[in-house]
A and B are shown apart, each in its own frame.
Chain A
């Protein structure tokens, strides 16, 4: 199906484990983003990518790693999960006019 999809939708992991959240888009958009959404903070940008092999830090990048070997995929890795990384994570890609289109979200719980 066309669009932007995230997996998994829900994930529970233990403190200290590595976890990767996947994001795939079929529009061939150049720009992709990872946001986290927390109560009281709204959405905050973690990392973004302007094209394959080009990534940059957003507002809250600490503890996260991204890669973009292909235009359509933009995985987000938590190298050693902490409880403070419990959140809902949204991947987005940018169409024309700077408008962002969001995936369904991944609800991550770190215990």
Chain B
């Protein structure tokens, strides 16, 4: 059974700082997804990582995937308040399209 673990689960940081969220998963997967959720809202797809060594960047966010280490990272550069949200990583639950297994989410607060 696939397990996806994120850390930290809660992060409070100041604007302008850098930080990394880690996502470990327990079984082999060559795909990893990152989502953002604002309070009371739906999940928005941020990054789709499809192979070992994949790196994607969007603004101040950069995601990477190391399938050998079963690790993905979401790096935040020079954080701004608008990035405050909950971030989830997810991996395919198994063969075929039988859904995603999500981490518990990282609740990120960026303070001025």
Contact = CB atoms under 8 A, between A and B. Distances in A.
Interface of A: 30-31, 33, 35, 40-45, 48, 50, 56, 58, 90, 94, 97-105
Contact of B42 (A41, A44, A103): A103
Q: How large is the interface on B (under 10, 10 to 19, 20 to 34, 35 or more residues)?
A: 20 to 34
B42 A90 contact: yes
A40 B101 CA distance: 14
26 contacts: A30-B97, A31-B97, A33-B99, A35-B102, A40-B104, A42-B88, A42-B103, A42-B105, A43-B90, A43-B100, A43-B102, A45-B99, A48-B97, A50-B97, A56-B98, A58-B93, A58-B99, A94-B97, A97-B31, A98-B48, A99-B33, A99-B48, A100-B33, A102-B44, A103-B42, A104-B42
Contact of A105 (B42, B48, B93): B42
Interface in B7-21: none
A98 B98 contact: no
A31 B33 CA distance: 17
B5 to A, nearest CB: 10
B80 interface: no
Interface string B79-112: 0000000001010110011111111110000000
Contacts of A98: 31, 33, 48, 92, 97, 100
Contacts of A56: 98
Contacts of B96: 50
A71 to B, nearest CB: 14
Which 9 residue pairs across A and B have the least CB separation, nearest first? Answer: A42-B104, A45-B99, A31-B97, A43-B102, A102-B43, A42-B102, A102-B42, A48-B99, A99-B48
A97 to B, nearest CB: 5
Nearest to A88: B40
Contacts of A50: 96-97
A10 to B, nearest CB: 11
Contacts of B48: 97-99
